[in-house]
Amino acid sequence: MKPKRSLLPRTLALAAALSLLAGLLTVSASGAEPEAPLTPQEAVSEMTWGVNFPDFFIADVTYHDGFPIGYCESAPYGLGIWFWNEAYEWLTFNQIHEDSYSVSVTLPYYNSSDNQPDWIGGLFTIAVMTTIQDQPVKFSFSNTKLTTTGGQVTELPSMDETYETVTTGEPNGNGYYSCFLDIDKSQLPQAGAAWNGATFSTTITLISAPFASEAAKADCFFEFSRIQTDPYEMIDLFLAQGANVVRLPVTWTSFVNDTTYEIDQAWLEKVQEIVDYILSKGAYCILNTHNDYLQRSYVDGQWHQDWMFEEYTQEVNTRFAAIWQQIATYFKDYPDRLIFEPCNEPTMDWYEGAPADHFSTQVSRVNELNELFVNTVRATGGRNGTRLLCLAVANYNHYGQLSSLVLPEDDDYLMVQIHSYSAMEKDPNLVNDPSYIYEGYVTETNKLFDAVDAFTEASNVPVIVGELGITHWESDADQAPKVQYFFEQAAERNVPCLWWEDSFDNANYYYWLYNKQAGEWGRPEILRAIQNALDLVPVTVQVNGADYTFAAPLEGAGTVLAAAYDSSGQMAGCASAARTAEQASVTLTLSLSQTPAEVRVFCLEDGTWRPLTKALP
């Protein structure tokens, strides 16, 4: 490991070391020597592993048909219309993502023995749900009808009305407020088997759903299909497992004025809260624009799949530079551990009618955007002159495009990010593609890191794996060796890897390690495989009878020390223990008169004291 910037010779007495450690929380800025900027090589050598939290700040705005899911200029995020049957069993849910869109609901099958006199009428128990209390909503139904499987149509003109309502009452267990519509059911047909498989359809037109304020808009930004989690708790959970890098995927489009490109101040402040928390824990934070530039980009008031072509270049570049000028300026005085990333997985997919050179156009545009990003950030001054910038790679950040990446010249503070979801297992997106050949996780992993080796040797620019994961298709026992092999290969090359910690349900396709529904680690064998590959050792700090356990990169440390601090930043106590390289875990005990505000753990390695973590709240 490379030596750290704060050094204390092994020969100093432990008492002198404790004196130094006692002052680590409160260093006077006026009396401190200015630090040299953090280099990319230093950063990757300090990183253990990391995690992405897509739950906090992203919406899947570039979806299959080009419309932005969970995003509407004139409606609160998460605003949706629900349809239930008479037993309040969910039939369908529709997010309002356009001002006008069509809805189709299949009726449940009728069973006369169920004594369901309101079988059809019960279907039209319709509600609006949102995360905002007292949210006014005004919309209309039009062309409302029932259609049998045989094509018989029954018009429902009495339902073609304008509905104006306000969410009221207390929130449900997930924090959503709701209001039920007063629907005229007088023309609904009687229940019967003739309606089995029939569909109810209507066109919903959003007329008005004004936000109370920018802050209200930011507070309710959430995609309904994601499981809500406490961001501070989630960050702490992963840092306690030895992670020290958090990538924050952020969707900015929803908060950018389409004329001035100004970002809502409330959204910047909301993102800042989590950035601040990550940095306060001594971890690295990677901040990006996520789903703002992907297969499509928001130009001419709509999403375009061919956004990389010349006719859109000026608008895309202007919007892109304006967004990054504001983000960079807002955070320009932040510590070096805050890293900027221009965009997530920039790609222009093939589509019917695309020109033959669409792929080379994609590669060229990604190189242009990277350069525009670097120039824009550097021009904002402050610490952005030497801030680490983690560049994107074409074709979904695929390692195969490292060789086509053109690095901006004369900049020593660049990193590069690739993503990998197919090295450890068959790509679930391509398993049915006959042209897709998977050669096994060892071969696929080696191919990826061979490409990384070639790139870093030629450029002297470090690479990180900014997203990776393995699905739940196979058992953890079968998958753990694949994960461990990948992380071992990454560690040999000093390539930090960041897990994609999605929060959807238990479907096999997803990648999460922590089960948000159960509130526990759902894949402990995978987690342990990561820790084994990186030599992360469990450390338990016992404070007044309570145990706090986390994983730390002790490596060859001979001494491990835990120091507790009170709310004023003064050291309240400490304990140390010797450790041999073969020791599987370390336990330290602190007996204090009161619960500490913070506990930090340090280790003595190669004549150097280095802080490992400050994991306790």
pLDDT > 50? residue 363: yes
Q: If you average pLDDT over every residue of the chain, what do you get?
A: 81
Whether residue 379 is contained in a domain is answered as yes
Residue 478, Ramachandran bin (φ over 0: left; ψ between -120 and 50: alpha; else beta): alpha
How far apart, in Å, are the Cα atoms of 289 and each of 113, 321, 343, 373? 55, 12, 5, 11
Structural contact between residues 420 and 465, judged by C-beta atoms closer than 8 angstroms: yes
Residue 296 has pLDDT above 70, yes or no: no
Strand partners, 561: 576, 602
Q: Is 503 domain-assigned?
A: yes
- The answer on pLDDT for 111 being more than 70 is no
pLDDT at 182: 77
Say whether pLDDT at 321 is over 90: yes
- Going by DSSP bridges, is the β-strand pair 414-420/389-391 parallel, antiparallel, or unpaired? parallel
When mean pLDDT is compared over 153-162, 249-258, 386-395, 598-607, the highest value belongs to 386-395
Question: 458 Cβ partners below 8 Å, 6+ apart?
Answer: none
Of 470, 501, 534, the domain-final residue? 534
Residues 176 and 238 in one domain: no
Distances (CA, A) of 597 to 136, 614, 615: 43, 10, 11
Residue 548, token pair as written in the block:
């706090």
| Claim to verify: residue 364 and residue 404 sit in the same structural domain | yes
Same domain, 235 and 293: yes
pLDDT value of residue 24 = 43
pTM of full prediction above 0.75: yes
Range in 94-103, 279-288, 294-303, 527-536 with the lowest mean pLDDT: 294-303
Indicate if 309 and 339 belong to the same structural domain.
yes
Between the alpha carbon of residue 518 and those of residues 227, 235, 505, 514, the distances in Å are 11, 17, 11, 9
* Shared-domain flag, residues 264 and 365: yes
The model's pLDDT over 267-293, given as tens digits with 9 standing for 90+, comes to 999 999 999 999 988 899 999 998 776
> Per-residue pLDDT for 476 more than 90?
yes
Query: How distant, in Å, are the alpha carbons of 332, 422, 431, 470, 509 from that of 436?
Result: 44, 11, 7, 18, 18
Q: Is residue 171 part of a domain?
A: yes
Q: For 582-607, how does the pLDDT look when each residue is reduced to its tens digit (9 = 90+)?
A: 777 888 898 888 888 777 777 766 55
Domain boundary among the residues 534, 549, 578 is at: 534
Q: List the one residue out of 581, 617, 580 whose CA is nearest residue 598.
A: 617
| Statement to judge: residues 101 and 177 lie in one domain | yes
Res 548: pLDDT: 77
- Residue 166 falls inside a structural domain: yes
Q: How far apart are CA 572 and CA 159, in angstroms?
A: 69
* Nearby residues of 153 by Cβ (< 8 Å), 6 or more positions away: 145, 146, 147
Residue 388, amino acid: L
Same domain for 521 and 568, yes or no, is no
More confident residue, 96 or 368: 368
- Can you state the angle between helices 476-492 and 441-459, rounded to 10 degrees? 20
- Within a domain: 524: yes
Helix, strand, coil tally for the chain in percent (to 5): 25, 25, 45
**Tokens of residue 458, six digits:** 């030629």
For the segment 155-207, what is each residue's pLDDT rounded down to a tens digit? 989 889 998 988 888 887 767 788 877 777 777 787 777 888 888 888 988 88
Q: What is the mean pLDDT of residues 117-128?
A: 65
pLDDT digits (tens, 9 = 90+) for 133-151: 888 888 899 999 999 999 9
Q: Is residue 434 part of a domain?
A: yes
Do 557 and 526 fall into the same domain? Answer: no
Asked whether residue 525 falls in the same domain as residue 551, the answer is no
- C-alpha distances (whole Å) from 365 to each of 233, 282, 293, 347, 475 are 39, 35, 12, 9, 41
Total domains in the chain come to 3
What digits encode the pLDDT tens for the residues 521-561?
A: 999 999 999 999 998 888 888 888 788 777 877 766 678 88
Tell me how far the alpha carbon of residue 48 is from its chain's centroid.
18
Better-scored residue on pLDDT, 127 or 474: 474
Q: Up-side HSE of residue 501: CA atoms within 13 Å toward CB?
A: 31
Domain with 317 in it: what CATH number? 3.20.20.80
Same domain, 381 and 267: yes
- Taking each helix axis from N to C end, the angle separating 310-330 and 358-378, rounded to the nearest 10 degrees, works out to 30
Please give the Cα distance from 403 to 389 (Å, whole number): 19
The model's pLDDT over 220-246, given as tens digits with 9 standing for 90+, comes to 665 555 677 889 999 999 998 989 999
Q: Are residues 393 and 450 in the same domain?
A: yes
**Antiparallel, parallel or unpaired: β 571-578 and 559-565:** antiparallel
pLDDT at position 9 is: 36
Residue 615 near residue 239 (C-beta atoms within 8 A): yes
43-52, 78-87, 303-312, 363-372, range with the lowest pLDDT = 78-87
Shared-domain flag, residues 447 and 465: yes
- pLDDT-derived band of residue 26, with 50, 70 and 90 as boundaries? very low
606: in domain: yes
Lowest mean pLDDT among 250-254, 271-275, 579-583: 579-583
59 within 8 A of 68, measured Cβ to Cβ: yes
- Please answer whether residues 605 and 557 qualify as being in contact, where contact means their C-beta atoms are separated by less than 8 angstroms: yes
Identify whether 74 is part of a domain.
Answer: no
**pLDDT above 90 as % of the chain:** 40
* Residue 116, domain extent: 80-208
Domain boundary among the residues 506, 534, 562 is at 534
